[in-house]
Structure 1
Amino acid sequence: MASEHDNCHLCKEYLRDPVSIPCGHVFCSICLKTYWDHADHTGSYMCPQCRVTYNKRPTPRRVGGSRHSTLQRNSEPFPPPPPSPDYNVAGPQDVGCDICVGKKNKAVKTCLMCLASYCERHLKPHYESATFKRHKLVDEIGHLDRQICPQHQKGLELFCRTDQMCICVLCTVKEHKGHDMVSAEQERADEQQRLGATQAEIQEKIHDRLKQMEELKLAVDALKTSAQRALQECDKMFGDMMRSIERMQQEMAKLMSSNKRAALNSAEGHMERLNHEISDLKRRDNEITQLSRTEDHIHFIQSYHMLIAQTENEELPTVIVNPYFTFDPVNKAVSEMKQHLNEFGNEEMVKVAKTVNKMTFCQLEDGKKKRSFKAEEAPMYRSVHVHEPQHRDDFLKYNNPGRTRGRRVSHQL
């Protein structure tokens, strides 16, 4: 007689073409493949024997030269294929039939009158017998204890609006006597309407987030184009200057590049935030859709208030794009600097630095504040105050790598 180690845990037969998995357990190759094929839709693969879970489907390793494989080949030249595992049996994450004895099959329906879940075989009386004609069947649910009044052990059928809780019929006699009470169906119908309004609000926020995302993307494209065009025009003007202004040309390119990088970093940060908010809103919208379709009134009522409170208390800041953001003032300043190079060269470079540092791109605005733009000054993101150069010696500090290596201008979004 073969020992337990010679048998497959799934088919209970001699191991055929044995394979092992990382936890060390051995199964028939076909049994393990069939077992994990059924788990592909969940993305979680569990060892049938020790219940160790793998997030990624492991690659089984063939076990060769085993004693039971040799006995099997000698005694059965053409062994029949092993029986397929019974996947109707409820697993750890399934809702089991309350009627089955021993191994419980998976439940397919739950009766809200019986407060029990049934597999296909034990569900037949509810379809065939007139006794169960008025019973309410819903998709299987695994929280029947939440359907029962903890005080009277009766099914929850009513909703007390005074105390905002689900109650049973016996609760109306004493604990909730004289309170404003309606049926669970009526309360669900009323809250369903409010839930629809909440979902519409979330969808409007999603639309607004997507619109802001599109505006921000367009602004970023315009920003890149403007920066590229300004760089090209500046290069052309600097090309006509004498070699004595080559240092100033490099400083100009460095100044514009740093401000462009700061603006792009700000835009990327906002886009990442918008993506996160859009994903969160879509997830919440999906939760509301699933909640709207549930047939379990009690589960609906108990989950509704949490979703409503989360949405009503949320204030999403608005990302506003500055439509006047451009690098054109740089070109004007450079043109003026070209005309007065010999006498006012250093002073004009300071003007350029002041002009660029005052320009803003985008910022987060409180949703309660009104949006406003001014052509002269459109506040989009706040810049940390930086000491601006006033004299030639101050300006030369920007060209000293040793003194500027640790200096960074950070922008407050």
Structure 2
Amino acid sequence: MAEALLTVKDLVSCPVCLDLLKDPVTVPCGHSFCRSCINDCWDQEDQKGSYSCPQCRHTFTPRPDLNKNTMLAEVADTLKKTKLQDAPPVDSCVGPGDVECDVCTGRKHKAVKSCLVCLLSFCEAHVQTHFKCPAYKKHKLVEASVNLQEKICPHHDKLLEIFCRTDQKCICYLCVMDEHSSHKTVSAAAERTEKQKQLVETQGENQQRVQLGETKLHELKQAMESLRRSAQVAVEDSEKLFTDLIQSIEQRRSEVKELIRAQEKAELNHIEELVSKVEQEIADLRRRDAELEQLSHVDDHIHFLQCFLSLFAPPGSADLRCTMIRPHVSIEELRNLLSGLKEQVEKLNKPELIKLGGVINYVN
């Protein structure tokens, strides 16, 4: 219940003084403020002729009339009666990377602005003094920073507002009258404007280089992809060619083997026939030699002469000395043929294979 009431309290708190609304009024953009707080803010904007909402910065011309927000006034009065206005403020606590308020005592709150004159950082509540009090109007407020001392001259303890182009460093106005008196100096704002131009030019050049780099990167990636595709096609084509070549060689090997075996079989059959004939002729000659040996011992002259005439006639078979054997398969000729084929295949070394494959494309 307390948390709910605290949330209601936040809704009826003035964004300027951070206290409960006193005589609450609502501006045209819908935000509500204490009548005195919004009048003080707009009194400071009379010279500009336009008036802005301190919360959303919406501008109005001319100065709007302020009407009391009765409902918010009743809620604020109710909270005052329940004394919930004494509850601890629900400000943002300091988190990692945040700047602490230098004015808060006890629990520190997150600073929202830093003053380059006071060299202090202020939370939302304590910075209001710089908006309300005329004595602080000329103080320069910046986003909360932990490095305020870096903006102060270490020699004169004055704000660094001038840039020395000779020494390329920030200085204060007393430095200009001292060791930088003969140097070329400009205001920090003027140098920032000049440097901002250079920064924009550098950014433009950098962006152009990035675009060129991205274009080149895209081209290189396309070249890589094209190379991969070409290499894959070359691999597939070479695989097919070598597969066909191997199949062709296997087929030729089988055919040569069959041819050798067929020729072997034919030659063996021919030789076997010759062996059979020679064996038969040898047998006939041995039989005849036996008959002649037997005849040489015959005593009957008539019988000897009669038998001699029949045994003396030569047999009808061919002379063994004239028997010719056809030469066997020429292995040497076949070996020479296959060696030539092997040499042709071995000539395809790696550089020639790459050249034939057409894989490598040089990318400039």
Provide TM-score, normalisation by structure 2: 0.46
Provide TM-score, normalisation by structure 1: 0.41
More relative contact order, 1 or 2 (CA 8 Å, 6+ apart): 1
Structure whose CA Rg is larger: 2
Structure with the higher fraction of residues in helix conformation? 2
